[in-house]
Amino acid sequence: MAFFESFAILIFLSFFVLYYKRQNLKTLIDRNCLPFGTIPQVVRNLHRIHDLLAIYLNRSSGTFMLKGPWFGNMDMLFTTDPLNIHHVLSKNFPNYPKGQRFHEIFDILGDGIFNVEGHLWEIQRKTILSHFMKPNFQSVFETIVWNKVETGLLPVLDVVSKKGNDMDLQEIFQRFTFDTICKLLLDYDPQSLSHDFPCLPCQKGFIDTEESLLYRHFTPTILWKLQQLLNMGNEKKLSKACNDVDQFVCKCFARIQNVSNKMESDQHVKGNFGLVTSMIRDLKGQGGYTGDPNKFLKDTIVSLIGAGKDTTSATLSWFFYLVGKNPIVEEKIREEIRTFLEVKVGGDKRWDSKVIGKLVYLHGALCEALRLYPPVPFNHKSALQPDILPSGHQVNQNTKIILYYYGMGRMNKIWGDDCMEFKPERWILKEGGIKHEPSHKLPAFYGGPRTCLGKDMSLTQIKMVASSIIYYYHIELMESHPVLPSSSIILQMKHGLKVKLTKRSEVNV
């Protein structure tokens, strides 16, 4: 593992092994007074960090302090308390920016919307939201998704299923969402989802970046900055990943500029550059930014690609994992599709968001997947001024606050004793409608002023893909294949999702 190539970290872990060799999990976590705090336990269990923290949060009534080494300034307050979540994200939002440590960890995001605050954040949010609200935006987006379903997703699934081979659904979803978000933003389809599964460095670069950033969270800053300085280990991997992503985006920008120049000189040349073209115009018209406008735009696009690609593909993967384990749920969703979508052989198989909105049971199953496996498992905040959380915990300017969404879905006091069960009915009212929960109870799309702008887009795309696959295919999980969360800031599957799909005899692609 690249992370352990740093000599300093090897010394760090060696001390841990010698000191804690015979200690059990509970003792390790509770002995906060030791020089390295509880961070060594976290590092040793990084491969199962999400479940480890969720278990301990349940033992600690939803909030506890993770002690780091005294020299690393790494103490972190983890919380799953919905009242704390609401307090930080909404009620006292101005007091909880992302903080200096967040900006250090996520420095590679530059001036992208997920990294900036204040006026720069307002500029980007206003600009992006204005485009999402345009009359034709939703129809353009849905057309892009359906085109990829028909020309990419279903043909690939059909070829593999006819051969009787198993397939990695997670990889297919990652390629699908990468193609659709690039087409939407850059008017360019990389065609990563095709029969030969081409290797695209930029696509892998996003995944490697997310894995590398998680390590930064649980490593003293001085250690990962040493790796960065020496260009080794995890930071070497991160540097290459960022370079691959930057090269891809810059090539797309160059292509857009080239066609734009031709359009100016030749009126017969036509171009449609997706969202980025109008964003260039609008962002240049905004005041308050004194830096390099090209870098500003690149950072924005990279952030949007990452958000549009990885969170959606992760949700789809966990959704099908849960549905595959629950064949009764699969059959109920399929029956709902047959009832409401009225698919006709040889007819139009495209369903818009309004029609898909009728699928209440599908929506409930999706909410359950988001509850148990939120695509972004945690959020990182810091307090500007000393404060007392609703749980009674005191925080100050040096407190790193981790809003732990993954643990929330596993809290008995929030969801009941059946919290580990996959129950779409949890989200359905007795009258048959959708049961809505506040965002601070299900913060899969964050909450407060920084609520995810692409929430509706993501849900629509997931439902389009899910309904298409479930209608045409039966899903069978490969029992021998281990399914575990990856060590990443996005909750991907460490080993992918291996399944066999069987074409339903009564339908045709």
Distances in Å between the alpha carbon of 269 and those of 124, 186, 259, 362, 403?
Answer: 30, 18, 8, 44, 50
Q: Which helix (H) or strand (E) holds 499?
A: strand 498-503
If DSSP states are collapsed to H, E and C, what string results for 121-154?
HHHHHHHHHHHHCCCCHHHHHHHHHHHHHHHHHH
What does the longest C-alpha to C-alpha distance in the chain come to?
A: 76
- pLDDT score at 449: 92
CB atoms within 10 A of CB 226: 18
Which are the contacts of 92, defined by CB distance < 8 A and separation ≥ 6?
387
Q: Sketch out the chain's domains with CATH numbers.
A: 2-503 (1.10.630.10)
| Beta strands 76-79 and 400-404, pairing class | parallel
Non-local CB neighbours of 416 within 8 Å, separated by 6+ positions: none
Nearest alpha carbon to residue 362 among 437, 457, 447, 469: 469
CA distance 383 to 400: 8
Which residues are documented as binding site? 452
pLDDT in tens, 394-410: 998 888 899 999 999 99
pLDDT band at 11 (very low <50, low <70, confident <90, very high): very low
Task: Determine the pLDDT at residue 346.
Answer: 46
Residue 383: pLDDT over 80: yes
**pLDDT at 297 > cutoff 70:** yes
Query: Can you say which residues are annotated as belonging to the binding site for heme?
Result: 452
Helix (H) or strand (E) holding 46: none
Listed in sequence order, the residues at least 6 apart from 19 whose beta carbon sits closer than 8 Å to its beta carbon are: 34, 36, 40
Residue 73: what pLDDT? 63
Start-end of H helices in 412-499 = 412-415, 455-472
| Tokens linked to 122 | 């307002």
- Whether the CA torsion 29, 35, 39, 45 is positive or negative: it is negative
- φ and ψ of 123, to 5 deg: -60, -50
Separation between Cα atoms, residue 350 and residue 471, nearest integer Å: 12
Torsion-angle region of 194 (φ positive above 0: left; ψ -120 to 50: alpha; else: beta): beta
Answer with the residue of higher pLDDT: 501 or 3.
501
- Per-residue pLDDT tens for 176-231? 999 999 999 988 999 999 989 999 999 889 888 988 888 887 788 888 999 999 99
Q: Is 333 in contact with 358 (CB distance < 8 Å)?
A: no
Pairing mode, strands 76-79 and 63-66: antiparallel
Cβ–Cβ under 8 Å, residues 167 and 485: no
Residue 63, strand partner residues: 79
pLDDT band at 328 (very low <50, low <70, confident <90, very high): very high
Tokens 């929030």 sit on residue:
414
- List % helix, strand, coil for the chain (3-state, nearest 5): 60, 10, 35
